[in-house]
Amino acid sequence: MRRPCDHFIKKAPEAFNECLRHLESPTKSCVAGRGSMKSSPPPRRRNLRTRLFVFSVVAFAIVLYGEDFTCILGTPFRRADDPPPQQQEQGGAPRVYDEPSRPHYREEDCPYIQPQLTCQAHGRPDAGYQHWRWQPHRCSLPRFDAALMLEKLRGKRMMFVGDSLNRGQFVSMVCLLHRVIPEHAKSMESFDSLMVFTAKDYNATIEFYWAPFLVESNSDDAVVHRIKERIVRPGSIMKHARHWKGADIVVFNTYLWWMAGHKMKILRGPLGGDGTKNLTEMVTEDAYRLALRRMLKWVEKNMDPRRTRVFFTSMSPSHHSSKEWGGDPRGNCYNETTPIEDATYWGTSASKSMMQVIGDVFEATGVPITLLNITQLSEYRRDAHTQIYKKQWSPLTPEQLANPTSYADCIHWCLPGLQDTWNELLYAKLFFP
């Protein structure tokens, strides 16, 4: 198995870590650390056999680790038999249209994808959104190796905790892994808010737990949670967290459900009954900060950093107004078939004030938690949403049918698609830190 570039940059591992931490910034690069790489000068005299041996070793390494030398030297090259990918022009968003190796799996081959994410089965006429690969400038992510990941997960629990976007990432991970597991050696079960995929031969589980705010709320029912007036208890987490105990890898997310307005309704007492006397309003950013701190406090008390890993996935952007990328002011993600080319694009759906809260809270804590920053790379992907190609939970009206833009889903993502990229980044941070 080829190793990523950090195995080569022995004296500057921070450079590769920086590359992974800031993939949203196309200018970050592994080559930042190459100036520290020095080698001792060769002896003045070598016999022919020694020179041939050294040349053979170097040539073998270049062939075997081509991508890794690319990351160090900053000169992209491919093997002779690699088909030439269609790459964005320099200065554009760093991505490659890679039809030969993307997608990792076919929609029809993964039975675990929910019908609200199966875009091809629901008539989407294009499939180009499945073939884009995230390619940071002058740096390559390691290829996703399902067999290696399953071996690393042997005897372990991996858990995704959050909302439907985190559930999509969970399903993506299951689809990436299940293809190398025999049919008799895997299962999927649901228990209220908990979904569990089991790889029996590995004694490993990949799980999802529904908790859209992480803390307790009136939207905690995994099925019936479309509540207009959302209420949270930012200090109460044990109702959910008791299900997370014992997990070896946890991937949290929470953002979308907080974006219901400038203020959130906060309950100081228990949910149910006449709790209105303990109900107050709080600026959304302040309530979000309380919830994140409560989550980190639980992690600090209940997870051993010597044997566990904790991740937090940043906000997933939506694309509700094509005016933001220079399109029709009346349009949205509907009928978009290509990514946004402007590398500096940042839409209004990803709140910078909320992202600042994440940065402030994580910077102030001593809890080892890794931010999985998927926001900027996802901002470009106006083409990857489910749009109208999904199961509709309510019958569509004649007015909606006449205007598909009115009911296009520009929040969730088709599978296979963008969320496989999120998991490639998670894979890199897990096993090549």
What are the phi and psi torsion angles at 346 (to 5°)? -145, 115
Q: Hey, which residues are catalytic here?
A: 164, 409, 412
Which residue in 120, 142, 121, 139 sits closest to 129, CA to CA? 120
Give, in degrees to the nearest 5, the angle at Cα 426 between 322 and 292: 75
Write the Ramachandran bin of 31: left for phi over 0, alpha for psi from -120 to 50, otherwise beta: alpha
> Do 319 and 331 contact (CB within 8 A), yes or no?
no
CA distance 299 to 130: 35
Query: Across the strands, what pairs with 160?
Result: 208, 251
Contact 134, 107 (CB under 8 A): no
Secondary structure (DSSP) of 31-86: GGGGGG---PPPPS---HHHHHHHHHHHHHHHHHTHHHHHHHH------TTSPPPE
How large is the angle between the packed helices 418-431 and 13-21, nearest 10 degrees?
150
Q: What is the DSSP letter of 251?
A: E
Instruction: Give one word for 173, left, alpha or beta, with left for phi > 0 and alpha for psi -120 to 50.
Output: alpha
Backbone angles phi, psi at 266, to 5 degrees: -115, 130
In the 8-state DSSP scheme, what is residue 99?
A: T
Contact indicator for 322, 334 with CB cutoff of 8 Å: no
Cβ atoms within 10 Å of 142's Cβ, excluding its own? 20
The CA radius of gyration of the chain, in Å to the nearest whole number, is 23
Tokens standing for residue 20: 């992974």
Closest CA to 281 of 232, 228, 237, 235: 232
Say how far apart CA 316 and CA 313 lie, in whole Å: 8
Distance CA 136, CA 21 (A): 11
Phi-psi region of 67 (alpha: psi -120 to 50; beta: other; left: phi over 0): alpha
Q: Which amino acid is at 91?
A: G
What are φ and ψ of residue 11, in 5° steps?
-90, -5
Residues in the chain: 433
